[in-house]
Amino acid sequence: MQKTVFKKLLLIGLFFYLPFQTMAWGVIGHRVVGEIADKYLNTTARAKILKILGIESVAMVSNWADFIKSDSSFKHLDSWHYINLDSGLSHKDVLDYLNKDTAVDLYTRTSFLVKELKKKNLPNDKKAFFLKLLIHFVGDIHQPMHVGGKSDLGGNTIRVSWFNEPSNLHRMWDEHLIEFQQLSYTEYTRAINHPNAALKKKWQAENMNEWLYQSYEIGQQLRTEIKQPNQRLSYQYNFNHIATLNRRLLQAGVRLATLLNEIFSK
Ligand SMILES: [Zn+2]
């Protein structure tokens, strides 16, 4: 009898231990991007966004596009979170591909959202829907594992172990590295939101195609570092990559603000 109870408890325990569905930058990462963006909104854009989102902040709506994955009526939005690209492409190859891209993916859908949100006569409910999606997807564009990875499902099939937990390269960049810092999203924002003025200007001047290429390039490099299945990653991996991770979060926040200022200032 006791044995059966023990077995049941073990099963319940295992169930909760199983990794949750991959969430793209994870909850904290997206909120950091939203919170940083919020700091750089101009007065007009902030007022318009407040009118659209109501009491919800940019940070707090940033995960909505992941949360709605639980509702099957939003299933058609799944492919909006990433873009498939072959490996080994040059800068020119990637830009050429983007120029001709007609797939329903992170690039074409984000471009679509920007265009729609610039329309003056967009109904309010649609405006709120599209704005929440845009806030999320600018984050996803900066997550290296969301750009490329046609043959390995964005790094999901690249098995690694994070300390002793079985995982994959995609989750490393969605969650593990960010969670390892043990910061709330507001603490994280305070810690990294100090862009060098010249760099900030450069990041703001680059267009979405460049944001995507930068993620692609980082993602290609990250794949070459995994030499064997279930490679154990731990302190050294964090030490080697924390600067890249923080730069991508900061760039995403700064660029999201620039984009929102452009959309909502007129
Ligand atoms: Zn996503």
Report residues near ion ligand 1: CB below 5 Å.
24, 81, 140
β-pair type (231-233, 159-162): parallel
pLDDT on residue 142:
98
pLDDT beyond 70 at 195? yes
Dist. CA 5 → ligand 1 center (Å): 39
pLDDT band at 16 (very low <50, low <70, confident <90, very high): very low
The CA 70 to ligand 1 mean position distance, Å, reads 13
CA–centroid distance, residue 178 to ligand 1 (Å): 15
The CATH topology of domain 42-264 is P1 Nuclease (1.10.575)
DSSP sequence for 152-164: TTTTTTSEEEETT
The CA 140 to ligand 1 mean position distance, Å, reads 5
Confidence band for 9, pLDDT divided at 50, 70 and 90: low
Structural element, H or E, at residue 43: helix 43-53
Ligand 1 centroid, distance to 107 Cα (angstroms): 12
Q: Residue range 108-137: average pLDDT?
A: 96
Query: For residue 265, what pLDDT is reported?
Result: 87
pLDDT of residue 125 exceeding 90, the answer is yes
* Statement: the pTM of the whole predicted model exceeds 0.85: yes
Averaged pLDDT of the chain: 91
136 and 259 in contact (C-beta within 8 Å)? Answer: no
* 152-164: pLDDT as tens digits: 999 999 999 999 9
Distance 160 CA to ligand 1 centre (A): 21
Q: Would you say residue 221 has pLDDT above 50?
A: yes
- What are 70-98's pLDDT values in tens digits? 888 888 888 999 999 999 999 999 999 99
pLDDT tens-digit profile of 228-262? 999 999 999 999 999 999 999 999 999 999 999 99
Catalogue the E-assigned strands of the chain: 159-162, 165-168, 231-233
Whole-number pLDDT of residue 71: 85
Listed by start position, the domains of the chain span 42-264
As a whole number of angstroms, the distance between CA 136 and CA 163 comes to 29
Distance (Å) from CA 65 to ligand 1 centroid? 7
Question: How far apart are the CA of 136 and the centre of ligand 1, in A?
Answer: 6
Q: Distance, CA 253 to ligand 1 centroid (Å)?
A: 15
Kindly report the number of other CB atoms within 10 A of residue 218's CB atom: 22
Ligand 1 centroid – CA 60 distance (Å): 14
Report how far residue 209's alpha carbon sits from residue 217's, in angstroms, rounded to the nearest whole number.
Answer: 12
Q: Choose among 54, 112, 49, 50: nearest CA to 264.
A: 49
CB 36 within 8 A of CB 60: no
Cα 162 to averaged position of ligand 1 atoms, centre (Å): 22
Ligand 1 centre from 128 Cα, in Å? 17
Burial 87-124 (b: 16+ CB within 10 A, else e): eebeeeebeebbeeeeeebbbbbbeebbebbeeeeeee
